[in-house]
Every structure is written in C-alpha cells, then in structure tokens.
Amino acid sequence: MMKTATQKGFKKSTLSVAVSVGGMLLISAITAAATEAIPTATDTAATSEAILSTTETAAETKPVAAKNANFFGKTSGYIENATFFRDRLGLSKFRNTAQLELEKRIDTSLFINGVFRATYDGVYDLNDSKFGPNSNREGYLGQNWHSRDDATTNNPVLGGKPFISAPVPFVCENDPTLCRNLKGYMDKSKNDARFPEFNDELDFIRELYVDKTISLSNGTKLSARLGKQQVVWGKSDLFRVLDVINPVDYSRQNIYDELQDIRIPQWILKAESRFGKVGFLDELTTSVVWNFDKFRPSVLGQAGQPYKMLDAGSLFSSYMNIDQHPVVGALYPGGPVPIIHDVNIPGWNFANTQIGLRTEGLYNGITFTLNYLHYRQQLPSTHFREHPAVPGSGLPAPDGVYDLEFPEVNLFGGSIDYFFPSIDSSLRMETTYTKGEELIRETDGYQKTDMFRYVIGFDKTQWIPLLNSRRTFLISAQLFGQHILNHRDDMPDYKNDWVGTLLFQGFYDFDRIIPKVLVARDFRSEGMAVAPSVDWFATDNLKITLAGNIKMGGKKKFDWSANDALSGAPMPNDYEPLARFTNGPIGVANKEDEIQLTLRYSF
C-alpha cells in the first residue's frame, strides 16, 4: 500500500509523566471543588448512536456541560495531554493540545462555524536522543521493524557498505541534498514537528466555514457550505474506503488516531439539495463537493519522527551505495545515489481542483449512497529514473532513483446502511472502484491499475448479564477487502488482501467507565494489532484514558532483484526496500508497542 532508552531519556520521560499527571490532577481538584457532587449519568443514547453511525463516533463522547453562549455564539473545546511510552524507546509522545470550537448563528438559516487547534509535542525535547534531528540514527534502514537483511548488511562487493544506507533523520537539518530532493513533502524542521498546526497552510484552522440554507416553497432545501472543512463520506474505522476527500496526517499516530483528528481540512465548497420524499424514495439528497484547495498529499511521517506510515519516510531519506560497486561505480562520480530525486506535487490551477458528486436516498429503512470523485492519489507513486548514459540497463540515475508522483484518479462508489430494530444491529457496506491509481512495482517503480475495495461492517448491542446486568455491550466488526485488478508478480502488494477489525465495548457506572478492546488482523501479511483501553469520566468535563497498543507481524520478505544483479548471486533475504508494502502498516509497526495515558478536560 526502535531500542533501549538511555538514562537521560528515562529521566525526561519520568518528568513528563509527573508534569502530565500533576497538571491534570490539579484540574480535577479544581473541578471537584467547584461541584458538590458528580452528576449521575451521561447520555445513555451513546450506544444507539454508535450502532447507527460508526465506532469512531461511539468512542467520542461529548461533555454534558452546556456550551457557553457569548459574542461568538456557542463555544466549546478541550485541553488534552497524551503521554505515550514505547517499548525500549521510552517516551514516544508528549502531545499537548488545545482546541476551541465556535458556532455563531446569524439567523435560523445562516451560521458560521470555526474549530481551531494548537498542539505542542514535547517528545522532541524530552526524548531528543530518540526522536528529532539529533536523535541516534538507526544502524540500518528498517531497524525499527526488522532484523538486518541482504540489502542492509555490509557487503564486501561495495567495500563493506550496505546497498541501502541508514536513513537520515530530519533531512533539512542534517542533509542539504535530501532536503532539496524532498522539499515540500518530508522537509519538516524540529519546530514543525513540535508545533504541527502552525505552518504555511494554517492547519491550526481545523474548520472555518459559513453555512446557508434556503427553503423553497415545494419543500426542497438548498444549502451551501463554503470554507475550510472536512467532508466525510465513509463510516469505516482505521482504513478508509469512501472517506478519501480529505488527506490524512499519519504522523500523529499512524492509523490509530481518530480520523476526525487526523484528516487534513481543505478549502471546499459543498452544495446540497434535500428534496424530501420523491417517488418511491422516502428521502432524496444530492450534493456536489468542490475541493478548490491546493493539492496536499497525506502526511506519512519522516525519518526521526515516532510514527511513520509503512516506514516510507525512512526509505525516502536514504541513499543507494551503488557508487562503491567495482563495475558500475564509475558511473556515479558524485557518490551515493539518493533514493528520491524529486517530489512532484502539482501546483494550484483550476484543472488540479477536485470534484465529487453524491446522491443519498432512504427507502424503507435502507440508506444508500452513490458516489463519484475525481481527485489525486494521496499516497505517492514511485517513478524509476534510469541512468541516461546507459539506457536499457536498469541502472538508476546518478542524482536520484525515483521521482514521487501523485496521479489523477476517478472513484466510483456507494454505500448501504440498514438498522435491524428487532436485534439492535446495523449492517453497513461501502465499496469503491477506482481507475488511475499507481502502486509500487519493482519494474519502472510503479504499476497503473484499477482497484476494487470494500468494507462490510456489522454493529450490535448485546446484553451479557454475566459481565453487566444493567447495560448492553457494543460489538462492532469490519472486514476490509482490496483487490488489485492489474496485478504483476513483481508488485509487493498482494493481489487480494483482507483486513478484519473487532471492537468490544462496555459501559459501567452510568457510562462513566467505558472499557473497550479493538483488534485488527491483516490476514495475508499476518500482522495483528490489539488495543485495549479504559475511558473514565471522572467528572462531566474530565476524561482519563489508559490504553495499550500491541502490534505483531512484519515477518514477510520480498526479493529485490537489483540486489541480486549487483551482487552477482541470488540474495533472497530482503525486507528492503519493498517488503514494507507486503507487511502493511500493522506489520511494519511491530516494534511500536505502547502504553498510553490521555487526559482531556472539555468545556
């Protein structure tokens, strides 16, 4: 599609927990003093809403306290500290977040909505020996997820160097060549990583839009929403099928953060017509989405950061030591060859904007959608660059092996949802067919292919008196399927792949204690993640979450024929550079087990 903490890092990590817990306990004490007693219950409709929407919605509970009304209209928000510890590395996240949400209603048909977020991640200060520009460099590429392989073992053919070098963390603070080649894509400074929202794209503005509705005499309602926003089409968790309008930031926590927190807002015009009952349909709604923002790819995370989707950022920050080869090394007088030569992110023009169409209907309790989206692929495609002096040789160009491209894609899709009242269950399905995607391949670097994806979800509330005689449990299962319709043998992705997820969630003490376990399994790569957690609503405003995240997998290999050719002998023991795509995001993160403590005060 990491190692033992030093004594210094351990002391800093211990200090971070003391700061986190102490600060939030102070907030808790103030809150307790201001209230005579803890209210008896939160809204018990949370389970029903979860079944009818998504497990993401089920996991997010709004504060009971009423929103404040002032000159800006309704205001709400939260402050949060998330402190994570990773096995053998110590502190992996010390993220402090403040979010403010404003809604100003001008009249009954017109309102302005704004959401603003500021984040400081102190891991780059408190554990700078492991994360950041001055972190200890990995001994070899992929050390954070696999043992040495043929491509990363020192090779006598190359004078004792490996075919691919260890990655360079934060290239723009350590390597001018890689910084130039990755400019605009993986060129974050330490401050960029510490304060991720404060950038040229003004990402601290999570939402800022105006919404207007007009009611016609025939009952039709026309609405338009203009501004920076998230447009959500799908309902799946962890992996996206229909929900691809906004790119996402995987550097926050790989695939495990809530989608609403990692989507990258875009400047979008959304126009909608709600017709009500039309013919045999109980409801009919059509909408047009025009994303007129400059194209932005999804953020994968870069070398030196705690979270890197598929560890691609490490690969892109590496070199190929082909200049040391006794036969072809003379073709590379400039030294090692960067893996990436350039990142071709298209500039803004009208032709590069993205357009989507959606029709939603309701018939006899069945909700369905039909979707079309013309957009750009948000994950990069690698285009091989051959050495101009020896065409047909398969040797890389001296100034970079690959260019990164983001091709145009046409998506056709749909969804169906139905709630079964008699068994308190819902069934949901999403499917997409895309044309124009490019997936990684050893030959030429990529393969253009059509793709077929789907997710089938089943959500149910179930009484289990042995565990809780007062409240039902939420059980949510998903099966994702991906099928590469133009697959080739030298593609590291599986032609047919499936991932399953299972969520089991309970509610205790008037829904103030919510334990849950999420399990995800990649059946082909044999990767697996288990994420238990407990939410405790200490007050209506203070939520404390203790969680774990355990990953397994990352054992699949994929032979790199270039390694064989340059060595002059078969060398099948390869993880690098292609097996990261065979193992998927779960398997590649197999050494990222964490204990996580999050404290959120909502207002």
**Is 1 domain-assigned?**
no
pLDDT tens-digit map of 476-492: 999 999 999 999 999 99
Q: What is the pLDDT of residue 566?
A: 86
Find residue 97's DSSP bridge partners: 80, 119
**Is 451 domain-assigned?**
yes
Q: Omega of the bond prior to 297 within 30 degrees of 0, cis?
A: no
Q: What is the pLDDT of residue 278?
A: 96
CB proximity list for 309: less than 8 A, separation 6 or greater: 250, 251, 254, 255, 298, 300, 301, 585
**Is 2 domain-assigned?**
no
Provide the pLDDT confidence category of residue 68 given band limits of 50, 70 and 90: low
CB proximity list for 577: less than 8 A, separation 6 or greater: 141, 151, 164, 315, 339, 560
Average pLDDT over residues 95-114: 96
For the cut 90, the answer to whether the pLDDT of residue 298 exceeds it is: yes
501 three-state secondary structure = strand
Q: What is the pLDDT of residue 567?
A: 85
Q: What is the pLDDT of residue 381?
A: 97
DSSP state letters, 62-93: --SSPPEEETTEEEEEEEEEEEEEETTTEEEE
Q: What is the pLDDT of residue 4?
A: 36
CATH number of residue 465's parent domain: 2.40.160.10
For the cut 70, the answer to whether the pLDDT of residue 494 exceeds it is: yes
pLDDT tens-digit map of 308-331: 999 999 999 999 999 999 999 999
Average pLDDT over residues 432-448: 96
Provide the pLDDT confidence category of residue 120 given band limits of 50, 70 and 90: very high
- Side chain identity at residue 496, one-letter code: N
**Is 168 domain-assigned?**
yes
- CA 386, CA 445: separation in Å to the nearest integer? 11
Average pLDDT over residues 77-103: 97
**Is 531 domain-assigned?**
yes
Structure-block tokens of residue 43:
């809204």
Q: What is the pLDDT of residue 563?
A: 86
pLDDT tens-digit map of 335-379: 999 999 999 999 999 989 999 999 999 999 999 999 999 999 999
3-state SS, 312-330, equals HHHHHCCEECHHHCCCCHH
For the cut 50, the answer to whether the pLDDT of residue 186 exceeds it is: yes
Provide the pLDDT confidence category of residue 603 given band limits of 50, 70 and 90: very high
For the cut 60, the answer to whether the pLDDT of residue 29 exceeds it is: no
Structure-block tokens of residue 333:
């007088």
Q: Which of 447, 343, 338 is nearest to 399 (CA)?
A: 338
Residue-range definition of the domain harbouring residue 580? 7-602
Structure-block tokens of residue 208:
């800022």
- 544-566 burial code (b ≥16 CB/10 A, e <16): bbebebbbbbbebbbbbbbbeeb
**Is 187 domain-assigned?**
yes
User: In total, how many domains does the chain have?
Assistant: 1
For residue 180, give Cα distances in angstroms to 189, 340, 404.
13, 10, 14
Structure-block tokens of residue 564:
């064989």
Q: Which of 58, 38, 34, 63 is nearest to 48 (CA)?
A: 58
**Is 546 domain-assigned?**
yes
Mean confidence (pLDDT) of the chain: 89
**Is 103 domain-assigned?**
yes
Q: What is the pLDDT of residue 136?
A: 85
Q: Which range scores top for mean pLDDT: 36-45, 63-72, 490-499, 557-566?
A: 490-499
- CA 28, CA 25: separation in Å to the nearest integer? 5
